[in-house]
Chain A
Amino acid sequence: MSAPATMFQKIWDRHVVVKAPEGEELMFVDRSLVIEGAAFLGFDILRNSGRRVRKPLQNLAITDHYLPTLNRAAGLAGIANPDIRRVIELHEMNARDFGLEHIDMHHPLQGISHVIAAELGLAQPGLLLTCNDSHTATSGAMGCIAMPVGGGNQLSHVLATQTVWQKRPKAMRIVIDGAIGRGVVSKDVILAVMAKVGIGGGAGHAFEYAGSAIRAMSMEARLTVCNMSVEAGAKIGMIAPDDTTYQYLNGRRYAPQGAEWDKALTFWRTLPSDEDACFDREVHLNVGDLAPMVSWGTSPEDSAPITARVPDPATYATPEQRSRVTRALEYMRLTPGTPLTDIAVDRAFIGSCTNSRMEDLRAAAAVLKGRRVVVPAMISPGSTSIKHQAEAEGLDRIFIDAGFEWRDSSCSMCNGSNGDIVAPGERSASTTNRNFEGRQGPGALTHMMSPPMVAAAAVTGRLTDVRTL
């Protein structure tokens, strides 16, 4: 009998090519997703050193951040900004030059990389997957190690060798128990985790989310949870595979079939952490009484139940915290003590790799049905397939009738890299994952929340407890 091991340990150990007594280990990468971002840096390193991609069939190029959400049919010609056009062109050229399959702007499988990784069944239990984007941990919800790499050196290393040097993180288990109430969804759970763990609280750790609340979640809800691991400083966030995972995966494009499926399933069932496995850290949360959460500040940990008030910096323990929160409230133009439900918003956005899947759209549509928004609002589905599915279900009509703009799929207003930005000083209710200064555009004021909460804010024009509608 081998010693009891965590799921993280089991998968990590299986991917160590060169074990170092101390320091970093050389890790094998089963699959790598290469988004356009700054990937041109990585490709240029290869080009300038005369290197090639070692295993092109284990790498997939995807364009997601810079795609327009309007007028997609016009292609590159429809993009006014020359910098954006150039990034898209460079990715096209690099994928072609280095022999990578490319899900480009007109591809039928187009979507946000972290959305389509699960949707296509690229992310599977037991794999090690990398992508040059910090929200790569999303796919860890499928029971794999999914971790971000830098777009320059690290990406060029993955492409040239199909490996990555990594220091083994410590294992941290976040146990979430309790049955969440009506109007509360997985986004609220992860915002509560952020508020508890803090922005740097997970640094150097790989998270495993466990507990009855996680077990009860659908696959899509779990993807939302793992997505925000990096907001607590962890590069890796995982959830043990179970029947929910297998049912979700079965039949997807890259999922194994027939006898191979059975073989894989036997292996996958060995992956969950052993009962007496030891974690370096444990955090417990009960979400039985959790209210819908909203962020009020400029760091993902700055979130509170919608029933709370804007906090007073004076109540924070250290001078550093007090000065940071004071600065955050100044930036957010908020006064301590204001009830969160008194905060008026100027616009609403539903989308991003955190909250743009079918369940997110359905939950928002359920709130919007028969109502009208009072502020500008837009929605960008996580993939073109999701967009089509939503249209088949008639959700697009609900959004459009409520006054939402029904856009194409892209990272869009989450970070505004494609030009979809929140104007300076505008306050946005957003389903996104970051509320840093300027994240949605210079001077933009972001309040993060769940899709039904964004829908509620859009129809009332204020941060609103969706349970009261």
Chain B
Amino acid sequence: MKPFTVLTAVAAPLDVAKIDTGMIMPGRFNRKYRRPGHPDYAEGFLHDLRFDSSDKPRTDFVLNRPAYQGAEILVTAADFGCGSSRETAAYAVLDYGLRALIGVSFGDIFVGNCLQNGILVVAQPQAVIDTLWKQLGERPGATITIDLEKQSLVAPNGERHTFDIDPTRKQRLLLGLDDIGVTMQYAAELEAFENRHRREMTWLAPII
């Protein structure tokens, strides 16, 4: 996982509420194999918003406008990433080239999947999102700076906003730590737990 420290990047405004994971990564892309290390899921990302039914880019869609090319931050509306738990949605975000999402609210499972893939998810009040949308709309291609250590973001107009993040997640994002590696540091605790648990719940048969 790539560490996340400070990011200054073009941000794109996406003012559509309740974009569920099935819109972020439609089912027919979801079933394609992703070769390890290849951004194969970029094609699926928001596909039906980005392209029409004959696969031509919708020129009016924000991510298709020249000024937002190379955006690494997306500023989203309420309930972004609600719906199915498909982790391919987080991979699609990553493969498309985004490193951070700033939005009003997000699906719970989706947030977990993003953070585990090195994508920072920042929740902000609707009023802040409204001003970000306005600034990004008026100055297409403007950048936002996100400083994870300081838990702050700087809007194109220089205004600074702070955000909350789970402390364990923050640490792992900053260092780019893989969860399995962290967990194995607790191998002794895990063994002890399992021995006790097995004694207490003797009726649990293995699945065979």
Contacts and interface: CB of A to CB of B under 8 A. Distances in A.
A58 B22 contact: no
A244 B20 CA distance: 36
Interface string A302-344: 0000000000000000001001100000000000000000000
Most chain A C-beta atoms within 10 Å of own C-beta, residue among B117, B206, B208: B206
A90 B108 contact: no
Given A83-B31, A152-B113, A200 B78 contact: yes
A434 B23 CA distance: 13
A54 B203 CA distance: 21
Interface in A134-154: 134, 136, 148-154
Contact of B113 (A153, A298, A324): A153
B132 to A, nearest CB: 16
A161 interface: yes
B109 to A, nearest CB: 6
A215 interface: no
Contact of A153 (B32, B116, B166, B167): B116
Contacts of B78: 200, 320
Interface string B100-122: 00000101110011001100000
Contacts of A230: 85, 109
Contact of B183 (A48, A57, A157, A264): A157
For chain B, the bracket of interface size reads 35 or more
A38 B17 contact: no
Interface stretch (A25-33, A68-76, A348-356, A379-387): A25-33
Interface in A421-457: 434, 436-439, 442
A13 interface: no
Contacts of B207: 31, 57-60, 101, 122, 254
B196 to A, nearest CB: 10
For chain A, the bracket of interface size reads 35 or more
B42 to A, nearest CB: 15
Contact of B87 (A20, A57, A153, A415): A153
B115 to A, nearest CB: 9
A11 B152 CA distance: 37
Contacts of B112: 150, 154
Given A83-B31, A148-B109, A436 B166 contact: no
B107 A149 contact: no
Given A17-B186, A40-B33, A417-B27, A154 B87 contact: yes
A165 B22 contact: no
Contacts of B18: 199, 298-299, 324
B89 to A, nearest CB: 9
B128 to A, nearest CB: 15
B31 A417 contact: yes
A26 B85 CA distance: 20
Contacts of B32: 83
Nearest to A151: B87
A196 to B, nearest CB: 17
Given A153-B116, A160-B183, A438-B48, 18 more contacts: A17-B193, A28-B193, A28-B194, A49-B180, A57-B206, A57-B208, A84-B31, A86-B33, A150-B85, A150-B90, A152-B91, A157-B180, A165-B168, A203-B107, A256-B204, A263-B203, A264-B201, A436-B23
8 contacts: A22-B166, A41-B91, A132-B85, A132-B87, A133-B84, A150-B109, A152-B116, A200-B78
Interface of B: 17-18, 20, 22-23, 26-28, 30-34, 36, 48, 53, 77-79, 82-88, 90-91, 105, 107-109, 112-113, 116-117, 126, 166-169, 178-180, 183-184, 186, 189-190, 193-194, 197, 201-208
